[in-house]
Amino acid sequence: MSNGIKDKVAIIGMGCSKFGERWDASPEDLVNEAFEEAINDAGIKKNDIDAAWFGVFYEEQNVGKSAYPLSQYLRLPNIPVTRVENLCATGTEALRGAVYAVAAGACDIALAMGCEKLKDTGFSGLPERTKGTFEDLYQPNFTPPGAFAQLGASYAHKHGIDMTDLKRAMAHVSWKSHENGFKNPKAHLRKKLTMEEIINSPVIAYPLGVLDCCGVSDGASCAIVAKPEIAKSLVGDNFVTVKSLQLSPSNGVEMGHGSWDGAHTLTTKKAAENAYKEAGISDPLNDISLTEVHDCFSITELVLMEDLGLSKKGHGPKDILDGKFDANGLIPCQIDGGLKCFGHPIGASGLRMNYEIYLQLLGRAKDRQLKNVKFGLAHNLGGIPNRNVAAISILGMNS
Amino acid sequence: MDSKSGITNFSAYVPNQAMSRTAMVDAIGWTKPSLKAFNTGSRRYVEWDEDPITLSVAAASSLELNTIKQLCFASTSAPFLDRQNAGIIATALDLPTTTHCFELSGSQRAGSSALINMSKITDNSILVAADCRKSKAGSPAEMLNGDASAALSLGTENVLAEIIDTETIYADIVDHYRTEKSGTDYYLEDRWFRDEGLNKIVPQAVSKLLVRQNISVTDISHFILPVPNPSMAKSVAKTLGIANEAISDSLYENCGYTGCAHSLLMLINVLDKAKADEWILLCGFGQGCDTVLLKATSKLVEKQRSSISLKNQLKKGKVETNYTKFLSSSGLIDIDWGMRSERDNRTAHSVAFNKTRDIYGFVGGKCTTCKTPQFPKSRRCVNPECSAFDTQIDYRFSSIDGKIKSFTEDWLAFTRNPPLMYGNVDFEGGGNIFLEITGFGVGEISIGTKVSTTFRIKDIDSKRGFHRYFWKAAPEKSGHHV
């Protein structure tokens, strides 16, 4: 691997809109809500930004195509804006573009913005879409819950776990996130749930019940990144830097080769190995203080704990039930409430995860604040277990 | 070497679902008490993803296909009026593009007329007949009809039943009719049809044939006369002087009258048990009468020993008692499937044409370097240890079984028979394919469940009146008669 991104770029400001069913707001409103927070946090002027990356997934169905929505919403002075899309990793992809531009020296300050306005599409889950002219001819008409539900039966079979026991561990994933999200004013769903409510919720896609699924919501989130020298001139030595930014897309093995077991996410494992290496982390269990992972469904978070190396293979359910990833556990996961409570406005989610880690590192997370935060890891999984894009970012303080 | 043309193999396919007639009468019998006359047994029906094309592929795929020169498809309910249905069947069977594909329609005699025509061809050929006729809710036809397909191999070698002679009479007697617009049959008074139609026209055709062949009606061991109401066949047999024992089973009990496929389906049922040298008289009625005289050969016994009989196959299957599910399967009730059903399923026909063999033939690739089977065929091998470039040869998955590696029952996804099931299928000999699954009920799949592939309707483009097909995973060898 090359030298990587570690400590080459600082995050000088972040913002996140209130997530939820934002019937009151347009994408323009959400973007400006997140941006105002970030620009005030950074203490710079809008015209100091050299370039921007804009993440939107369902472009035609909400925000619209191309770069100009962002340029227009913020009335940017005709600086370069790149619109990016990489499934559920879209927000992190926007961040990656901005960070790489600064690291390359092409920009001093760059903006990464992600936004999605899903609720106006009229669907209660994610909207329907085609898969392209060829794949429509043969790919199953899956939904995201159905595609991720596949992990459930395969995981139970592979590790010899009774589905009732697996369901209990999955329910704990959701229960824990609601306990956390309850405290977060920016979360969409701020309600505590009982284990029984979750376990007995109506089935959406076996073995997932409706309370195993994350919400669908509207939101925007952003980051302003800069050269470390600029961060230093603004705030002194105490600022957040990017330790690693890794992306691992499937190459077709899961979809078409018998070697994949259907019970884990192959790309997460690969991205995590590279991310730890890039960040110089040899013992993630010790060094990672918190994670924000792609908990689109409870079973996803369960297998991700293993794929990220935070649980041993087959130990995910026990670790989860033992509280290892609870707010007071060894490595809290979704301390902000996760996708489960924030919902998943696709373009914004990756940046929303990094926003929480940013707050935690700077000690600004109020009553969610964790102690001794060293490194925080954010993870997205775009697509489905069969074929996806895994994105991992690790943030820490300037070393 | 035999020189006479005849039937060299046969295969029927009946859908796995049967609708209980008692349940139908319970649900709709309030409209007319006379429906109680049909209060026994069950009728076969197709799910939303089956049609005469898929039934035909299922039946014909059990036959020897290597030397086929001609494929004839007979149906009065073929999905396309102007797009060759037989060509879709041939593609799904992966027959050479030089196969002469053609079709016959227009009356309930389409199956028997096709048999007459095919008997004059000496090439190895396949005749497949299938019908899935819609009927109005609460009509006698709804009780009497069934959906199925029958496929025959024809040739001059290893003949199981020789076609000795044929005769035909046409008569424009309108006992029923269906137009493009009506969608369902309109029936006339059935006693008039029985007395002035069947009872006069069938004997004329039969007599001509038997006289020419110098055969007495008492020589006939199997008399096949497919009519929706089986009692009418008895009436004709009586007129002809054919003994009750020689009247072939109408398959009313657990199949129903399968339209223009029924003469051939009844023939298959006869061939399952006929003895060498027995005479079989097949009739087909529909604005006239076809008659085909066949003679069983000694080779039939071997076939009977090695295959599952249609009769035994009809004992299997799932009996449905929910009348609304039955109505929904053929689109007779307009159920609110929600917004997900509004997705635009427009087909990119240029892509579909380029990938016809991949999609309809289910032909993937096998890497010549590492031997990994894969679907779809691609420029670089999917095996991460190989990824060789342009090394894949054709590899057909349609006849290979597999087992379920992952699955779900998805209640959110749109399907006309929820839940939509799909999962990764691990194919014998290699290859992992993410497929839709059909034919299983809730709770019937688990990891490792064995599956076969079946050619089905994949998506319906209701906006443009088009639909496309692909292969799905289904219960192992369900519904087949081999």
- Chain B contact for A216 (CB, 8 A cutoff): no
Name the residue type at position A371.
Answer: K
Give residue-wise pLDDT tens across range A120-133. Answer: 888 878 887 778 89
Min Cα distance B465 → chain A (Å) is 16
Q: What is the pLDDT of residue A123?
A: 83
Mutate to test the interface with B, among A60, A163, A206, A208 (most CBs of B within 10 A): A206
- Closest CA in chain A for residue B434: A255
Q: To the nearest whole percent, how much of chain A has pLDDT over 70? A: 100
Which residues in chain B are closer than 8 Å to A299, comparing Cβ atoms?
A: none
pLDDT score for A62: 79
**Whether A229 contacts chain B with CB within 8 A:** no
Is it the case that residue A207 has pLDDT exceeding 90? yes
Closest-CA distance, B391 to chain A, in angstroms, reads 16
Q: Is B279 helix (H, G, I), strand (E, B) or coil?
A: strand
* Interchain CB distance below 8 Å, B419 and A256: no
Nearest to A258 among B409, B420, B431 (CB): B431
Q: What is the dihedral of CA B404, B407, B411, B416, to 10 degrees?
A: -30
Catalytic residues of A: 88, 344
Interchain CB contacts (distance < 8 Å): A and B: 139
Nearest to A143 among B347, B382, B413 (CB): B413
A205 with B410: Cβ contact below 8 A: yes
State the Cα–Cα distance between residues B71 and B57, nearest whole angstrom. 12
Chain B residues touching residue A162 (CB < 8 angstroms): none
b/e code B20-48 from CB counts within 10 Å (16+ = b): bbbbbbebbbeeeeebeebeebbbbbbbb
Rg (CA), chain A: 20
Chain B residues in contact with A216 (beta carbon < 8 A)? none
Report cis status (omega within 30 of 0) of the bond before A228. Answer: no
Interface of B with A in 439-458 (CB under 8 A): 446-448, 458
d(CA B285, CA B201): 9
Which of A118, A126, A128, A141 to substitute to test the interface with B, most B CBs within 10 Å? A141
Q: Which residues of A touch B419 (CB under 8 A)?
A: 205-206
Is the CB of A372 inside 8 Å of chain B's CB atoms? no
In angstroms, the CA B277 to CA B269 distance is: 17
Question: From the list B351, B430, B435, which residue is nearest A133 (CB)?
Answer: B351
Cβ of A204 under 8 Å from any chain B Cβ? yes
The tally of CA atoms less than 13 A away on the side-chain side of residue A51 is: 20
Residue from A151, A248, A257 whose CB has the most chain B CBs within 10 Å, to mutate:
A257
For A214-265, the pLDDT digits (tens) are 989 999 999 999 999 999 999 999 999 999 999 999 999 999 999 999 999 9
Instruction: Record the tokens describing residue A200, joined without a space.
Output: 């007995």
Whether the CB of A258 is below 8 Å from some CB of chain B: the reply is yes
pLDDT digits over A378-389, tens only? 999 999 999 999
A98 pLDDT higher than 50: yes
Q: Let me know how many helices (H) and strands (E) chain A has, helices first.
A: 14, 11
Nearest chain B Cα distance for residue A178, angstroms: 23
Q: Is B224 in a helix, a strand, or coil?
A: strand
Strand partners, B409: B421
Task: Tell which B residues from 142 to 201 touch A, by Cβ distance under 8 Å.
Answer: none
- Do B430 and B367 contact (CB within 8 A), yes or no? no
Distance (Å, whole) CA A58 – CA A121 = 10
pLDDT at B155: 96
Would you write out chain B's pLDDT as a tens digit for each of its 482 residues? 345 689 999 999 999 999 999 999 999 999 999 999 999 999 999 999 999 999 999 999 999 999 999 999 999 999 999 999 999 999 999 999 999 999 999 999 999 999 999 999 889 999 999 999 999 999 999 999 999 999 999 999 999 999 999 999 999 999 999 998 999 999 988 899 999 999 999 999 999 999 999 999 999 999 999 999 889 999 999 999 999 999 999 999 999 999 999 999 999 999 999 999 999 999 999 999 999 999 999 999 999 988 889 999 999 999 999 999 999 998 899 999 999 999 999 999 999 999 999 999 999 999 999 999 999 999 999 999 999 999 999 999 999 999 999 999 999 999 999 999 999 999 999 999 999 999 999 999 999 999 999 999 999 999 999 999 999 999 987 544 44
Inter-chain touch A257–B382, beta carbons under 8 Å: yes
* Helix (H) / strand (E) containing B240: helix B231-240
Mean pLDDT within A43-63: 92
Residue of chain A whose Cα is closest to the Cα of B473: A140
B5 vs B254: CA distance, rounded Å: 32
A162 touches B at CB < 8 Å: no
B439, two tokens: 């034919």
- The Cα–Cα gap between A85 and A272 comes to 21
3-class DSSP state of B455: strand
Cross-strand pairs, A380: A391
What residues are paired with A218 via a beta bridge? Answer: A20, A117
Task: Give me the helices (H) in B80-138, please.
Answer: 85-92, 110-118
Q: How far is C-alpha B183 from the chain's CA centre?
A: 19
Distance from CA of A250 to the nearest CA of B (A): 11
What's the ipTM?
Answer: 0.93
Question: What CA–CA distance (Å, rounded) separates B324 from B347?
Answer: 30
The DSSP code for A221 is: E
Does residue A260 belong to the interface with chain B, where contact is any CB pair within 8 Å? Answer: yes
B411: which chain A residues are within 8 Å (Cβ-Cβ)? Answer: 203-205
3-state SS, residue B415: coil
Produce one character per residue of B75-99: b if its CB has 16 or more CB atoms within 10 Å, e if not. Answer: bbbbbeeeeebbbbbbbbbbbeeeb
- Is the distance from CB of B99 to CB of B114 less than 8 angstroms? no
CB contact under 8 A, B436 and A257: no
Shortest CA gap A317–chain B (Å)? 19
SS3 content of chain A, % helix, strand, coil (to 5): 40, 20, 40
In contact, B433 and B426? CB cutoff 8 Å: no
Query: B208 in helix, strand or coil?
Result: helix
Interface test with B, best of A136, A208, A296 (most B CBs within 10 A): A136
How near does any CA of chain B get to the CA of A125, in Å?
Answer: 8
Q: Which of B76, B109, B74 is nearest to B286 (CA)?
A: B109
- The CA distance from A342 to the nearest CA of chain B, in Å, is 21
Question: Does A134 contact B355 at a Cβ distance shorter than 8 Å?
Answer: yes
